Amino acid sequence: MIYNDFQDMKLSALGFGAMRLPVLPDGSGAIDQEELDRMVDAAMDAGVNYFDTAYPYHGGLSEIALGKSLSRYPRESWNLADKFPGHQNVHGVKPLIPEEVFEEQLRRCGVDYFDFYLMHNVNENSMRYYCDPDNHFLEYFLEQKAKGRIRHLGFSCHAGPDGLERFLEMHGEHMEFCQIQLNFVDWTLQDAKRKCEILKAAGLPVWVMEPVRGGRLAKFGEEIEGKMRAFRPEESTPAWAFRWLRTVPKPTMILSGMSNLSQMQDNLKTFAEEKPLNEDELQLLSDVAAGIAKLIPCTGCRYCCAGCPMELNIPNLLSMANDMAVDKSFNTVARYSALEDGKRADSCIGCGQCMEACPQKINVPEEMQKLAELMSAQKSWEEICKEREAAAEALKKGK
């Protein structure tokens, strides 16, 4: 395992993010605790010592499941990071009282302190809640830090570079690290390069989230993956995204939200040793990024969903829009037409709630309109099926 220095600690360069844990196949959404235990065992065996959860992950079940799994190991052998969901105030899910949330988080995780604690999703909207002195958020966290219940205080940030600077001006002196979305596409697409420069100037180490953009950078199709294999036959596609991070921005922590044991094993193999990318390999990723940057940059975080009056599955619809941009496949048309009436893109009323909630600043109503128009111009799935049947019939008859 590769390690990085953070203050007087050695942190594994790979952190286990518990945002997309394995779930049971019964549709209940319950976490597969046995699979999670196997993943944690593999991580601990390989020297991972950083585990990251958050109040809203899996509706609160992530904190419980991860805490339970880690409790099988001595407390001092792992570092647990949790996050205060101040951004939820923006969506009006429930008014937050930091004392209540923090105590509940400790209870859920089964711990009496957090090694790392973050203000979750600081962005241009949530900043006003995080920085409002009447909310006493920072004051409360600093009190907990003085009591040893928070060892290190930081924040995760989806704001643009200007927003990041504004937050640092207000709270920077109390922050010890900052978690940002960083990968070889967002380096330019989300101006992550500039954010790294701002954090470096502020003396804050960088923690990385979304290193493979919710899986988008883990699969590129045969043409690109063939080129990757020609350079590095022994490495998986996701390994490239991690190698880029270790070669270019060199952050202190890279969090990967792993969903099964095989992803964990692949990542552990990648982080077992340093294998920086060479110039040709970096150029290949730069070319790949140029193609991807044209797609809608949705990460599937679902922050937009709670406020949608039409209860649309927005990330699902945006992923279909991206699929269609890459390849107008039958499968995507089928997925779209299989949606319930009232749940397709043409049901968007353009209220704009989602835009305020979106950390990626996606103009969702505009994308919904484009998708609705694109899909209405496609043949229906039934028509496609009939054509295919007719073609198959014709083949059989030798026509």
Decide whether 47 or 215 has the Cβ nearer to ligand SF4.
215
Q: Which spans of this chain sit near ligand SF4 (rule: CB under 6 A)?
A: 298-304, 307-310, 312, 314-315, 318, 348-354, 357-358, 360, 362, 364-365, 368
Beta-ladder partners of 31:
23
In angstroms, the Cα distances linking 135 to 54, 89, 127, 167, 239 are: 20, 11, 12, 16, 42
Q: Which is nearer to ligand SF4, 158 or 243 (CB)?
A: 158
**Minimum distance from CB of 297 to ligand SF4 (Å)?**
7
| 63 or 367: CB nearest ligand SF4 | 367
Cα–Cα distance for residue pair 235/215, rounded to 1 Å: 16
From residue 116, alpha-carbon distances to 67, 123, 220, 224, 368 in Å are 14, 20, 34, 38, 38
Residue nearer to ligand SF4 on the CB measure, 11 or 354: 354
Q: Residue 71 contacts by C-beta under 8 Å, 6 or more apart in sequence?
A: 110
| Closer CB to ligand SF4, 239 or 318, in the complex | 318
Please state, in angstroms and rounded to a whole number, the distance separating the CA atoms of residues 113 and 188: 37
Least separation in angstroms between residue 317's CB and ligand SF4 is: 8
Shortest Å distance, C-beta 158 to ligand SF4: 9
Which of 169, 167, 177 is closest to 205 using CA atoms? 177
3-state secondary structure 118-177: EEEEECCCCHHHHCCHHHCHHHHHHHHHHCCCEEEEEEEECCCHHHHHHHHHHHHHHCCC
Closest approach, Cβ 75 to ligand SF4, in A, equals 34
Report in angstroms how near the CB of residue 221 gets to ligand SF4 at its nearest: 22
Q: Closer CB to ligand SF4, residue 39 or residue 314?
A: 314
Closest separation between CB of residue 55 and ligand SF4, Å? 17
